[in-house]
Structure 1
Amino acid sequence: MKLGIAREHREGERRVAGTPETVQQLVGLGLEVLVESRAGAAAGYSDDAYVRAGARIVPELDPGTLDILAHVRPLEPATAAALRRGAVTAGFASPSSELTTVRALAAAGVTSFAMELVPRISRAQSMDALSSQALVAGYRCVLEAAIRLPRFFPLFMTAAGTVPPARVLVLGVGVAGLQAIGTAKRLGARVSANDIRPASADEVASMGGTFIKLDLETAEAAGGYARELSADRGALQRKLLAPHVAQADVLITTAAVPGRRAPLLVSREMVQGMRPGSVVVDLAAESGGNVEGSVPGQDIRVDTADGEGTVTLVGLKDAASAMPADASRLYAKNVANLLALVVRGGTLSLDFGDEVLAGTCLTHDGEVRHAPTAEALAMPDNRASDNEGVA
């Protein structure tokens, strides 16, 4: 069976779905591995390294000849349509926003596994790409803030006087938030954090941060994710957070609700209430933003309320891709570990009695198996847009 590792073509994407290390693992499963030329170049993996690991380099992958296709970003509809019936794909699919591709995968009879759907259970931790990439992104958030902040992160005691540590506030304490806390602490900052999930307080403390407790209902959904607050509760949350935001030198927001627009945690007025020179990094900018006015890939200067200066609002884009070597190392291992459940003795073995495969499967045998996506596709607006596209 042939497995292809694609070269990513979306602008800004530098990761790759397979590394020389995972090629060896995949070859060990009995697969013939084809790597698109220069697929790993941006991540520091040469074509020669793939060849030494047992892969064959091809100028361009032909989707119609592959049994399995590994990728990072969601496939283009044309690529999905070109896959042969019964082929398997493994990669991020963004089903809520890539409905056209999902429909193409189903129509082509492709079995697609969406890495963002991997169940959050102990057995699937080695396949949890959301967590591995969030770790990279959380680390990156702090570095982006540090290079923009016009002062030190750590405490310095010098003959010329004492420089106090920067105050960092992290909102959202998932994997990315915890990594941001740990990185900011290692840089010497004084770190505090808040999350609406009750278990977060102990997690923050374990990373050396101070948990900010608000008089607000807790909100935890299945799998340990946060669930969205009502409009009234969201407004109260922002009101209670405002004084803490105003005291921070750096604000990092990482809150997300899977499959939904990112919750608004920080209003423009809250940003304007920060001290001149402060920095805000919004990791959720690409999914709607935790901070009002953030734009993916842009730095925006926001005038402070006192008119004495500005706050830098950073809308992060492609955060994990900005560190492609280790992001690819982790992601490729996630993909290879998932495929180890799919391939037995060099042949496909799709056991949907396995809760990991069942939970991760997006499409199979012409059916959209992920219920929320199937419901979205069935909505009248989506059917109408499909008809317009065909015409």
Structure 2
Amino acid sequence: MRIAVLRETAEAERRVAATPETVKKLIALGATVAVESGAGDGANISDSAYSDAGATVDGRDATIAGSDLILGVQGPDVGGLRGIKSGAMLVAILSPFARREEINTYAASGLTTMAMELMPRITRAQSMDVLSSQSNLSGYKAVIDAAESYGRAFPMMMTAAGTISAARVFVMGVGVAGLQAIATARRLGALVSATDVRAATKEQIESLGAKAIFVEAVKGIEGEGSGGYATEMSDEYKAAQAALVSSHIAKQDIVITTALIPGRPAPRLVSDAQIATMRAGSVIVDLAVESGGNVEGSVVGAAPVVHGVTIIGHRNMPSRLAADASALYSRNLYNFIAAFWDKDAATVVFPADDDIVKGVTLTRDGAVVHERLATAA
């Protein structure tokens, strides 16, 4: 089986879908690996490092030609897959709900496509969960970026000239990114609080030494969707949460928002009126900015100052830590491939009835087969 690794072309994308480490592991399975020249440049991996690992390194057309499986970070346009053979497989982060027309084009081109971000949150798939591996880095980097923009120290400092108060950090949304943001802010010495619509996260927040800020007046709302994701809340809960956040956010120096709902626009958590209550020099980092934004006034790829508050909306946060993000992402891909590798045939076999395969497969045999996409057509 020939596996191809492409150079990413999307804006602000510096990650790569395989590292020399995972190239060696794929070859050990019995695959041959081809890497497009320059694929690792953004993650500081040279072409020679791939060659030393056993991969062939060539231009895009030569890399794609004859390949059975294409690995990518973000899904390439079909036009960028010239010469791909019929029935080839593409495994990447494909953003199917935002790129539906492109998914239809994949199907029409005869590609079998698998979206790694749709990996089911089950025990067997934990090592393949790209959202968790990448979100972990995003949560860390959000705090580091906030600290860089914030014009004051994070920890309390007692000096002969007086005491500097610790920064107050409020994390909104306590998934993988939120938990890492809490832990990182705590390590930097901040006073941390956090909130989430899922009642089960309260214990997680407190276990990291942060203060849990939860709506108590509205009962019977857990906010827990399928697979451990948050789901959209009732209007009653939204109103209660907005009132709670308004009273709390005015006292915060740093706010980090991480809330996402799969297949839906990001929920609005922070309004312009709430931003106006924060003191000048405060910082907000919106990790959901590319999905519509949790924060009113956030802009993709920019950091506007609104009411004296800097609102950071960096594009592709994991890519800002490209080397580590690539290492983790490529291991996720390897674990996925290895789990379905047929040693005797020296190829990967994806059973159509497997829960993991069903969860990630978008197109097969010229049709869109993912249940959520097929029913939305």
Band the TM-score falls in, shorter-chain normalisation? over 0.9
- CA displacement 1:249-290 (0-9 Å, x = unmatched): 000000000111000011000001101111111110110000
- Residue 74 of structure 2 aligns to a residue in which SS? coil
* TM value normalised by structure 2: 0.95
> Residue in 1 aligned with 2:91?
90
Matches within 5 A, 1:107-256: 107-215=108-216, 216=218, 217-256=221-260
1: CA distance between counterparts of 2:170 and 2:158? 23
In 2, are the aligned partners of 1:113 and 1:363 still within 8 Å (CA)? Answer: yes
Amino acid at match of 1:262: A
1: CA distance between counterparts of 2:23 and 2:340? 16
| Aligned residues with identical type, % of pairs | 46
In 2, are the aligned partners of 1:283 and 1:319 still within 8 Å (CA)? Answer: yes
Match of 1:268 among 264, 269, 272: 272
Using the TM superposition, give the Cα deviation of residue 190 of structure 1 relative to its aligned residue in structure 2, in angstroms.
0.5
- CA displacement 1:110-161 (0-9 Å, x = unmatched): 2211101111011101000000000011011001110111111001111111
In 2, are the aligned partners of 1:66 and 1:84 still within 8 Å (CA)? Answer: yes
| Pair 364,101 (structure 1): closer, same or farther in 2 beyond 3 Å | same
Amino acid at match of 2:231: R
1: CA distance between counterparts of 2:238 and 2:274? 14
| Pair 79,264 (structure 1): closer, same or farther in 2 beyond 3 Å | same
Amino acid at match of 1:313: I
Amino acid at match of 2:359: G
| Pair 360,302 (structure 1): closer, same or farther in 2 beyond 3 Å | same
Amino acid at match of 1:370: H
2: CA distance between counterparts of 1:198 and 1:352? 35
In structure 1, list runs of 5 or more residues that go unmatched: 304-309, 379-391
1: CA distance between counterparts of 2:321 and 2:267? 26
Using the TM superposition, give the Cα deviation of residue 362 of structure 1 relative to its aligned residue in structure 2, in angstroms.
1.3
Amino acid at match of 2:106: L
1: CA distance between counterparts of 2:295 and 2:23? 40
In 2, are the aligned partners of 1:70 and 1:90 still within 8 Å (CA)? Answer: yes
In 2, are the aligned partners of 1:234 and 1:264 still within 8 Å (CA)? Answer: no
4+ aligned runs moved over 4 Å, structure 1: none
1: CA distance between counterparts of 2:128 and 2:260? 20
Amino acid at match of 1:368: V
Q: In the alignment, does 2:285 pair up with 1:281?
A: yes
Using the TM superposition, give the Cα deviation of residue 81 of structure 1 relative to its aligned residue in structure 2, in angstroms.
7.3
In 2, are the aligned partners of 1:266 and 1:291 still within 8 Å (CA)? Answer: yes
1: CA distance between counterparts of 2:348 and 2:142? 40
2: CA distance between counterparts of 1:20 and 1:294? 37
> Residue in 1 aligned with 2:67?
66
- CA displacement 1:165-204 (0-9 Å, x = unmatched): 1000000000000000000000000000000001101111
Match of 1:338 among 336, 339, 348: 336
In 2, are the aligned partners of 1:234 and 1:265 still within 8 Å (CA)? Answer: no
2: CA distance between counterparts of 1:81 and 1:368? 21
In 1, are the aligned partners of 2:337 and 2:348 still within 8 Å (CA)? Answer: no
> Residue in 2 aligned with 1:42?
42
Aligned length: 371
Using the TM superposition, give the Cα deviation of residue 231 of structure 1 relative to its aligned residue in structure 2, in angstroms.
4.1
Q: Which has the larger displacement, 237-246 or 251-260? A: 237-246
- CA displacement 1:282-331 (0-9 Å, x = unmatched): 1101100001111111111112xxxxxx1111112110001100000000
In 1, are the aligned partners of 2:250 and 2:277 still within 8 Å (CA)? Answer: yes
- Residue 204 of structure 1 aligns to a residue in which SS? helix
* TM value normalised by structure 1: 0.92
In 2, are the aligned partners of 1:155 and 1:188 still within 8 Å (CA)? Answer: yes
- CA displacement 1:5-27 (0-9 Å, x = unmatched): 00001121000000000001110
Using the TM superposition, give the Cα deviation of residue 80 of structure 1 relative to its aligned residue in structure 2, in angstroms.
5.5
> Residue in 2 aligned with 1:29?
29
Using the TM superposition, give the Cα deviation of residue 101 of structure 1 relative to its aligned residue in structure 2, in angstroms.
1.7
1: CA distance between counterparts of 2:139 and 2:98? 23
- CA displacement 1:314-351 (0-9 Å, x = unmatched): 11211000110000000000011111134323223221
Amino acid at match of 1:124: A
In structure 2, list runs of 5 or more residues that go unmatched: none
- Residue 255 of structure 1 aligns to a residue in which SS? coil
Q: Which has the larger displacement, 214-223 or 69-78? A: 214-223
- Residue 23 of structure 1 aligns to a residue in which SS? helix
> Residue in 2 aligned with 1:382?
none
- Residue 18 of structure 1 aligns to a residue in which SS? coil
- Residue 192 of structure 2 aligns to a residue in which SS? strand
- Residue 232 of structure 2 aligns to a residue in which SS? coil
Q: In the alignment, does 2:356 pair up with 1:366?
A: no
Using the TM superposition, give the Cα deviation of residue 230 of structure 1 relative to its aligned residue in structure 2, in angstroms.
3.4
1: CA distance between counterparts of 2:21 and 2:352? 28
- Residue 4 of structure 2 aligns to a residue in which SS? strand
